[in-house]
Chain A
Amino acid sequence: MDLFLVVATIVKVALVVVVVISAVPVLTWVERRGSAFMQLRLGPNRVGPLGLLQPLADGIKFMFKEDIVPPFVYRPFYVAAPAIAFVAALLAFAVIPFGGTLMIDGREIPLVILDLDVGVLFLLAASGMGVFGIILAGWASNNKYSMLGGLRSSAQMISYELSLGLALVSVLIYAGTLRPTEIVEQQIGGTWNVFPLFVGFVILLVSAFAETNRLPFDLPEAETELVAGYHTEYSSMKFSMFFMAEYINMITGSALVTTLFLGGYALPFQRSVFEGWLGLEGNLLAVLQLASFTLKVGFFMWLYVWVRWTLPRFRFDQLMRLGWKILIPLALVHVVWASLLVMWGVPA
């Protein structure tokens, strides 16, 4: 392994971590201003232009808040839980390709941190570990509301991981590979997967909402029933880490949907318009692709906000019914549909 590769990888990792983490405050601003917009309010608009510095102020406040550890908690897990949730959320992003290849000094740099041939499974594995952060927080807090939140979360995650997995299976059957970069390249060459596999796209999107504990599936932290669910007993930066983990999971979920169904970093009509007609190539194309990826992910992030302030929360039995009786059978049928497409030779 030569020095160039090592440096390139370190720079990529550092950039992605910084961008993803600093996207969180921006997203909270979007969330608060967006909700205000939908409810005919103004939202935070005092700190900085348009209230853009509000998240910064909030962040500073978080850091200086007293870090309260209640008595009777199980300390090792109580302290580890936010870290587990946060690290797992960050780790999952590693396999997402966020751009084509960049040429620097005559060397190709693929814009993905970890180009694994089982990349999709890596993402599933990493995000699966994040559940333990929530469960452990609920258990270690020694509080019945936290416990119920943790329990709900694990039940919900198990249920929706099935439909999520099945939706992934249909894409993987269609693409014939588990490597995210290859799935994206195939979509650049052909059509985006959302068209032949629209049902799978919807199932994956709904499951991603459930996996990230966002409304209408935010039962693990339902304020009206459980105070704040699994993070009731957390304060200061520990709470902040759960909060950031949730937003990072949303970013990763959006990036996953984008990569598998909306062509990832592909530009619309890339082959015919951008490469053919405009004759773009090399670094300019890579930068445009990065912008395209960001815009697509941004759209889904807005969708999260949009849905949160539009739909009310499900009841728990409704959540389970949707998961087990509607999404899973639908996803199974969709796997058969994807297999039929492959049999008919639809994917190029």
Chain B
Amino acid sequence: MTALAAVAIGVVSLQWVVLLVIAAVAIAGALVVVLHRSPVVGAMGLVTNLLCVAGIYVLLNAYFFAALQVIIYAGAVVVLITFVIMLLNLRPEARGGPGLVPIGLAVLLGLALIVVLGRPLLEFSAPTAEAVAPEFGSVRQVGEALFTEYFYPFLAVSLALLSAMVGAVLLAKRHLED
């Protein structure tokens, strides 16, 4: 209610409130990925997180990126992940988590990461939808960038994906012949 009131008197924009809600859900989803014992629930947490990122793209008026985010990451990639989880019939993680030393190390490394990333993040001012050009992230702009400025990196990525695919097929075949 306080948030609504704040919007009504114009202290914060509606966009800010929406962003905060989306960010909170995204973090919750990420926590589920890490903390939940069942891999399928974790995968659904990942979907939630990825959908929230798509929502942030929409807030920046980058509809194309949002659509790609949902189709490729939330759609194809996570469907594949769930498929593999179900195919391997992964059981929820057994009771008795990691000991104190690994947890301590994880906390330490996490804090280190926050410190390293924190400074640039604090100095970085997030672009608002008004600040970026209306053309930003449009299909035309992305396509032009891909096929002119980033043509060779784009080709290299395609080749890398192709070799990964060929490698996967090869590994599967070898396994079959045994």
Q: Is A322 an interface residue (CB 8 A)?
A: no
What is the bound-complex CA distance between A129 and B67, given in angstroms?
Answer: 12
Contact B76 A122 (CB under 8 A): no
For A137-156 the 0/1 string (1 means CB < 8 A from B) is: 01100000001001100110
**A79-129 residues at the B interface, CB under 8 angstroms:** 116-118, 121-122, 124-125, 128-129
Question: Total interface residues on A, using CB and 8 Å?
Answer: 26
Q: Is B64 an interface residue (CB 8 A)?
A: yes
Q: Is A335 an interface residue (CB 8 A)?
A: no
Residues of B within 8 A of A125 (CB): 67, 70-71, 74-75
User: Whole-angstrom distance from the CB of A324 to the nearest CB of chain B?
Assistant: 12
The secondary structure that dominates the B interface is helix
Residues of A within 8 A of B63 (CB): 116-118, 122
Are A135 and B138 CB-contacts (below 8 A) given A121-B68, A125-B70, A151-B87? no
Task: Determine which of B40, B68, B74, B80 lies in contact with A129 in the assembled complex, contact meaning CB atoms within 8 Å.
Answer: B74
Can you name the residue of chain A whose Cβ is closest to the Cβ of B65? A118
**B31-68 residues at the A interface, CB under 8 angstroms:** 38, 40-41, 44, 47, 63-64, 67-68
What is the bound-complex CA distance between A196 and B86, given in angstroms?
Answer: 42
Q: Is B83 an interface residue (CB 8 A)?
A: yes
Residues of A within 8 A of B83 (CB): 135, 151, 154-155, 158
Contact A122 B74 (CB under 8 A): no
Q: Is A255 an interface residue (CB 8 A)?
A: no
Q: Is B7 an interface residue (CB 8 A)?
A: no
What is the bound-complex CA distance between A138 and B139, given in angstroms?
Answer: 36
Q: Is B79 an interface residue (CB 8 A)?
A: yes
Contact B138 A117 (CB under 8 A): yes
What is the bound-complex CA distance between A132 and B82, given in angstroms?
Answer: 9
Can you name the residue of chain B whose Cβ is closest to the Cβ of A147? B86
Contact B82 A118 (CB under 8 A): no
What is the bound-complex CA distance between A316 and B40, given in angstroms?
Answer: 25
User: Whole-angstrom distance from the CB of B85 to the nearest CB of chain A?
Assistant: 9
Contact A128 B75 (CB under 8 A): yes
Contact A178 B139 (CB under 8 A): yes
For B142-175 the 0/1 string (1 means CB < 8 A from A) is: 0000000000000000000000000000000000
What is the bound-complex CA distance between A311 and B8, given in angstroms?
Answer: 60
Are A129 and B70 CB-contacts (below 8 A) given A117-B138, A118-B63, A154-B79? yes
Contact A124 B138 (CB under 8 A): no
Residues of A within 8 A of B40 (CB): 77, 136, 139
Contact A122 B67 (CB under 8 A): yes
Can you name the residue of chain B whose Cβ is closest to the Cβ of A126? B70
Residues of A within 8 A of B87 (CB): 151
Contact A132 B79 (CB under 8 A): yes
Residues of B within 8 A of A178 (CB): 139
Q: Is A131 an interface residue (CB 8 A)?
A: yes
Can you name the residue of chain B whose Cβ is closest to the Cβ of A148? B86
Contact B67 A121 (CB under 8 A): yes
Contact A117 B71 (CB under 8 A): no
Are A77 and B86 CB-contacts (below 8 A) given A118-B64, A128-B70, A131-B75? no
Residues of A within 8 A of B80 (CB): 158
Contact A139 B86 (CB under 8 A): yes
What is the bound-complex CA distance between A236 and B68, given in angstroms?
Answer: 36
The interface of chain B, by Cβ under 8 A from chain A, is 38, 40-41, 44, 47, 63-64, 67-68, 70-71, 74-76, 79-80, 82-83, 86-87, 138-139
The interface of chain A, by Cβ under 8 A from chain B, is 74, 77, 116-118, 121-122, 124-125, 128-129, 131-132, 135-136, 138-139, 147, 150-151, 154-155, 157-158, 161, 178
Pairs A–B under 8 Å by Cβ, sample size 19: A74-B38, A74-B41, A77-B40, A77-B44, A118-B64, A118-B139, A121-B67, A125-B70, A128-B79, A129-B70, A129-B74, A131-B75, A131-B79, A135-B82, A136-B40, A139-B86, A154-B79, A154-B86, A158-B76
Task: Report the 5 A-B pairs with minimum CB-CB distance, sorted nearest first.
Answer: A128-B75, A121-B67, A125-B70, A154-B83, A118-B67
